[in-house]
Structure 1
Amino acid sequence: MSTSSQPSKRISADDAHLRVLGYEENFDRKIGMWSNFALGFLYLSPLVAVLSMFTQALTTAGPPSILWIVIAAGGQLLVAMVFGEIVSQFPIAGGLYQWARRLWNGQYAWILSWIYISGVIVGCTTTAMFSADFILPIFTSDTNVASTPMQKLVIATIVVLVALVLNATGSKTLATIAKIGLAAELAGIILVGLFLLIFHRENSFSVLFDTMGAGGDGSYLSAFVTAAIIGLVLFYGFEACGEVAEETPNPGRSIPRSMMLTVVLGGAAALFAFIGYILAAPNLQGIVDGDVANPIAAILDDTLGTAGTKIFLIVALTSFLACVMGQQAAGSRLIFSFARDDMFPGSRIFKKISTRKVPLNAAYAVAGLPIVLFFLLYFLPGALFRVAAFQMLAGYFAFQMVVLASLRARAKGWQPGGRWTLGKWGWPVSIGALIYGVLSMILLARPNGDTSLPFYDRWIALIGFLIVAVTGLVYMYVAKPYQRSTAPEGDAIEVANTLREHRANNDNHDITDDAPVGGTLV
């Protein structure tokens, strides 16, 4: 009997890196650096944030509320830097879950992911609900119309389902929509912003520092602190760049850059847009007083006319849709990664990959749960901004769990082993990120200042967070899902040393497909 052997197939350094981390390659690497940046930028979506938060910002604290964009940008840039060197060492689908698992352990990663998934799902909910006030005027004669609760429910459901259908077609579609959405974002912010500033400036720059009576007879400081949500909601989504690490070439270098670019350029774009709308508002005092139903539509209608406003609203629709797609993609990859390690309820179902290399069952879950929440908000339409605060509280808590895990690992001797590191700045940047995050969570958990609201409504962000956290802890200690997984954990120091050794001795070594999973790169 004769035998023949086939030569080993060479695999990429990215896939070899993945095998060292204990996983086989499941995805196609079709999301390049700019598509990866576009995904994070669209998840953060400065245009969506401005359209959603403009009214809330001005009625709460007047034009000075835009200072929160600068404050939050500085704090979240520190967090993005910490995430950058972690993802450079652990470029795995699932992002925060995987980072926490490898820096600490499975239990810690489990509760973090449970909380973060709830934040992502609520993020899909609020983004889709906010879109209604900008999609409805496209189909009506009055561009200054505000949507009813039923219209919000219907429009938000359609947005979520369309995003799901597009996501189901694969990573290539996601990358393409991300690029289209990025172009729409930039056009909607830069072109419209420049047009307003150059040709339709109604107010002087001094109004940016004028409270215009916001806060009423009470302390303006309290009103200004309440407006913190404007900046905190904006800088959320850059971590999505890491959720698709297994679909991105050279993730150890490109994803850290994408994260930081997302924060810096997203913040600059949002600040530019806010200033443009404030300076172009013909009835700025009426907006601050809450007398204008849909301020941005009113400003655009006054400056661009009905036809121009509708064109802009179509651009806004593209941005909202792309933002929801990005949120769904990030959430579904996290659930998939969670389930792949047998850590998620229903893991057998959610770890399946479709023929188009998409975790479709996980995507169904991320799309389906927001539709349930739409009905809750139908009965509590005034709670939308406070539900958004819960989304941010859950997200920021998960972020800071990762930052804390990185500090603990550093104290144990971890020196990040990816191709992008902070070097000697690792400790001060990580400590600064943690301080910023803790202060942000305190602001997000504060009760609504309107004492006429019921207790549960004023504290809805904190109550919702506690329900999610306690439910997750009870399930974790009763079902012990972390015991069902054999995935690597707590190996940050070991992996960092392996990666450094490989780069020092084997940068030119050909890597073949018989490289062991969970072994070394050579």
Structure 2
Amino acid sequence: MSTNSTGAEHSPIDEDAEQLARLGYTYETQFKREMSFWGNVSLGFTYLSPVVGVYTLFASSLGLGGPPMIWSFLIVGVGQFFVALVFGEIVSNYPVAGGIYPWARRLWGAKWGWMTGWVYLVALLTTIAGVAYGAGPFLDALIGVEATTGSTITCAILLILAATAVNFGGTKLLNRVAMLGLCCELGGALVVGIWLLVTARKHDLSVLFNSFGAGGGSNYFIAFAAAALIGIYQYYGFEACGDVAEEVPNPGVRIPKAMRMTIYIGGFAATFVCLCLILAVPDYAAVISGQNTDPVGTVLSGAFGEVGYRVVLGIVLISFLSCVMSLQAAASRLSYSMARDRMLPASHLLAQFQEKRHVPPYSLLLACVVPVLVILGSVVSPDALVVIVSFAALGIYLGFQLVVFAALRARLKGWKPAGQFQLGKWAVPVNVAALAWGVLGITNMIWPRTPDSPWYVNYLVLLSAVVVVGVGLLYLFAKKPYTHSDSPSADAIPGTPSVSAASASPSNNVENYL
């Protein structure tokens, strides 16, 4: 307990509410600060979901780069750690629900905040659809039916509905289920990995330096860069710790630590699972040549038998459910944060708050309905789902870098973070490293890799980004959402008054549109 100037005692919750009020957000209805530190870590971990990422992409990455593809986990982990440090300093300064949208708004302005929030929201909604759709084959294998488009769609929708039900239960239930997901996924990863090392290991660690002909004899760097997407698609989720900043006591201290802890635990789990699978694959040539298209299934069924394999599949499905649940929580807090600043269509609905559970019900429905519609679109055109979901990972990285760039700009203009977590003299070097890494990662994601395919296939990820950003810009210029609210913005730089969006006027100056 702390004491104010009059001698009255203040609880940590009171201090958190006062800090939120100083940041310009005082509401009669607020989130309940019922998420513990480990609940916050669990939310980031289950969003990152090493089991989902590794099991989904292991076959393609091993086929492209051979066993050395595992080193991408180390490279990407270091790069994303720099991003997590930058985010930790920002969230400590601005512990506001919605994560990167309010951060971008305060660091640069309402227009930059709109574009950042829009890109990230689309990425989250499509990621929910992609993760849920990817769970279908695992559920089919668990119940012993042949995987079809219909069964995959049904499984995906059921998974999204189950995750939505958990999120409607409120912060306390989300906290408990996220921690359960962490225990199941991390415990399952350790048990499965150790069992594979003890009973199914076929190789020693030397194979991690042998490509076994992957890349077709051409420049191996190109093959490794393509295989490294398993690492690039793995290391995000830590930002979800900041999306629920108004539900965590003492967020300026706890959330930066939770972000780093997510990187540590998630990175270890992902690398360990991948290592154990690599050492247990009997024939790398079969995977690289395409003869064995499901090395994960081959390894697990061989090591655990029919019954054990189904148990492992059950753990995998818990991981998928936890991942979708955490993604939904992040997406709903983001849309709520933007809606209470009247930045989105139907903001009057999306900003509503349910008193009983202390959750934004319509924002949660948005995070349910849109992914379901995306998945149902695959009935009409399977390629449509590929086009939409192709933006998911790129959009998240792009949203990250919009914040990282805004932070670097603000620092160079004199921003001095005042939160409880600060990088001090390392702030600018770390920020520059985070930006450089982000540009490198984005370049790798959009790089064309199928020269024999039509140009639009080669540039599908880039084209999807152009469409999303283009739609966001059209809405920005046509509807001017930055004029709908007087919430604080662009106030990070010393001497810059908080720009009231209601008093903002259109200008032809390019800087003003950013």
Please, what TM-score do these two structures have when normalized by structure 1? 0.89
Of 50, 55, 61, which aligns to 1:51? 55
- The answer for the alignment partner of 2:363 in structure 1 is 362
- Structure 2 Cα separation of the partners of residues 100 and 224 of structure 1: 33
Alpha-carbon offset, residue 162 of structure 1: 1.1
- Structure 2 Cα separation of the partners of residues 194 and 495 of structure 1: 57
Q: Residue 12 of structure 1 aligns to a residue in which SS? A: helix
What are structure 2's unaligned runs of at least 5 residues?
A: 1-7, 497-514
Q: Residue 312 of structure 1 aligns to a residue in which SS? A: helix
Of 93, 99, 102, which aligns to 2:106? 102
Distance 1:437 1:471, change over 3 A: same
Please, what TM-score do these two structures have when normalized by structure 2? 0.90
Alpha-carbon offset, residue 136 of structure 1: 1.4
**What is the correspondence of 1:332-411 to structure 2 with a 5 Å cutoff?**
332-354=332-354, 355-378=356-379, 381=382, 389-411=390-412
Alpha-carbon offset, residue 62 of structure 1: 1.3
- Structure 1 Cα separation of the partners of residues 433 and 58 of structure 2: 29
- The answer for the alignment partner of 1:446 in structure 2 is 447
**What is the correspondence of 1:49-88 to structure 2 with a 5 Å cutoff?**
49-88=53-92
- The answer for the alignment partner of 2:281 in structure 1 is 281
Tell me the alpha carbon deviations over residues 211-230 of structure 1, each in whole angstroms, 9 at most, x when there is no partner. Answer: 12222254332221112311
- The answer for the alignment partner of 2:26 in structure 1 is 24
Distance 1:241 1:130, change over 3 A: same
What are structure 1's unaligned runs of at least 5 residues?
A: 1-7, 497-522
- Structure 1 Cα separation of the partners of residues 374 and 63 of structure 2: 26
Distance 1:228 1:380, change over 3 A: farther
Amino acid at match of 1:122: T
- Structure 2 Cα separation of the partners of residues 216 and 384 of structure 1: 30
- The answer for the alignment partner of 2:507 in structure 1 is none
- Structure 2 Cα separation of the partners of residues 291 and 155 of structure 1: 28
Alpha-carbon offset, residue 476 of structure 1: 0.5
Question: Contact between 1:389 and 1:444, CA under 8 Å: does it hold in 2?
Answer: no
- Structure 1 Cα separation of the partners of residues 384 and 172 of structure 2: 36
Question: Contact between 2:374 and 2:385, CA under 8 Å: does it hold in 1?
Answer: no
- The answer for the alignment partner of 1:416 in structure 2 is 417
**What is the correspondence of 1:46-445 to structure 2 with a 5 Å cutoff?**
46-140=50-144, 147-354=147-354, 355-378=356-379, 381=382, 389-445=390-446
Alpha-carbon offset, residue 295 of structure 1: 2.0
Tell me the alpha carbon deviations over residues 319-355 of structure 1, each in whole angstroms, 9 at most, x when there is no partner. Answer: 1101000000000000000000111111001001123
- Structure 2 Cα separation of the partners of residues 413 and 244 of structure 1: 28
- Structure 2 Cα separation of the partners of residues 385 and 289 of structure 1: 24
Amino acid at match of 1:212: F
Q: Residue 233 of structure 2 aligns to a residue in which SS? A: helix
**What is the correspondence of 1:472-511 to structure 2 with a 5 Å cutoff?**
472-493=472-493
Distance 1:208 1:388, change over 3 A: farther
Distance 1:12 1:495, change over 3 A: farther
Question: Contact between 2:377 and 2:385, CA under 8 Å: does it hold in 1?
Answer: no
| Percent identity between the two aligned chains | 40
Question: Contact between 2:390 and 2:464, CA under 8 Å: does it hold in 1?
Answer: no
Q: Residue 344 of structure 2 aligns to a residue in which SS? A: coil
Alpha-carbon offset, residue 293 of structure 1: 3.8
CA RMSD across the alignment: 2.1
- Structure 1 Cα separation of the partners of residues 17 and 471 of structure 2: 37
Distance 1:384 1:78, change over 3 A: farther
Q: Residue 457 of structure 2 aligns to a residue in which SS? A: helix
Question: Contact between 1:390 and 1:444, CA under 8 Å: does it hold in 2?
Answer: no
- Structure 1 Cα separation of the partners of residues 456 and 493 of structure 2: 45
- Structure 2 Cα separation of the partners of residues 385 and 295 of structure 1: 23
Distance 1:378 1:75, change over 3 A: farther
Amino acid at match of 2:261: L
Alpha-carbon offset, residue 385 of structure 1: 7.3
Amino acid at match of 2:357: R
Tell me the alpha carbon deviations over residues 485-517 of structure 1, each in whole angstroms, 9 at most, x when there is no partner. Answer: 100011225699xxxxxxxxxxxxxxxxxxxxx
Q: Residue 391 of structure 2 aligns to a residue in which SS? A: helix
Count of matched residue pairs: 485
